[in-house]
Structure 1
């Protein structure tokens, strides 16, 4: 089977993200943040193995870089220079607009993601799959319920991009009820 992405492209993005996120930890843990990016990219790679029509390099680079603009000092222009305009636009679409009120951010994010190729949709599905693990100990029940509801919103908006990831997300959303 011909692979629709290259290891070199993945490694370049992974090294860039590891530098950008250096010293960051996953919320509520001592686990290096790069692990989250590994989990998201693993979900995307698993989908690409089944859904071979996609631009794997775009999907994988955006999966690894999706939080760089949002959570580090990395700029859109740095991503564009290093990885090209398509990747930079994808990362920007996956970046929350923190100038908006919190309750408006997800709707805005989903609107911007839907303007991008479906590979970017896949990253958002994979990101929420990765994030629907046991919630941090300090989250309230209300926060846990809202997070699950956001997962449903993401699923409904983006499920057409990847039947494989949509199925995984639906399962994670169902399992997440156990934390409520």
Structure 2
């Protein structure tokens, strides 16, 4: 199967799942597939700038990364449709809601770090995409915390993908424009 076929299968699956939830990009009327395609775009560009990068694996994980966290999709369904490796990566990218909020990110990052570097790349690409203008209803404290969390992600996944690490570093610096200090 070619990369384009993997992309089409995953984006159709994810779009339908997120549409069932009427999910939009936070703070906008845009359908959630815009976020998913932006993460996938970061992965496609990173693949061109990263040696030995498994783009077919990464593109599917990028498009599916929020299906377990934000939709009714089950791990079994994801595994049956896309295979155990993809499902395991999506699960690692999914916050465990049984943990206290203060532990969710660390837990997810620890699970991500046990998997192949393309999973790390998806987490970096996701945060890069999310470091755009924050929703207008966010307080300045929430924006500052979000930027700090991006720094934690960058530090935890150091060495996972130099291209995306540099992109995230830039986005973190640009995010200062949205903060009141």
TM-score norm. by structure 2 comes to 0.95
Please report how far the alpha carbon of residue 150 of structure 1 lies from its aligned counterpart in structure 2 after TM superposition.
0.5
Residue 118 of structure 2 corresponds to 119
Hey, what does 2:5 align to over in structure 1? 8
Q: Unaligned 5+ residue runs, structure 1?
A: none
**Alpha carbon RMSD of aligned pairs, Å?**
0.9
Measure the CA separation in 1 of the matches of 2:8 and 2:158: 28
Dislocated runs of 4+, deviation >2 Å? none
Q: For 1:96-152, what per-residue CA distance to the aligned partner results, in whole angstroms no more than 9, with x for missing partners?
A: 111111111111110011011111000000000000001101111111000000000
Matching of residue 136 in structure 1 with residue 125 in structure 2: no
SS class of match (1:161): coil
CA–CA distance in structure 1, aligned partners of residues 169 and 14 of structure 2 = 28
Tell me the equivalent position of 2:53.
Answer: 54
Alignment of 1:18-57 (within 5 A): 18-22=15-19, 23-57=22-56
Superposition TM-score, scaled by structure 1 size = 0.96
Are the aligned partners of 1:159 and 1:165 in contact in 2 as well (CA < 8 Å)? no
Q: Aligned pair 1:145/2:172, yes or no?
A: no
Instruction: State the partner residue of 2:161.
Output: 162
User: Structure 2: which 5+ runs fail to align?
Assistant: none
Q: Is the 8 A contact 1:24 1:33 kept in 2?
A: yes
Aligned length: 176
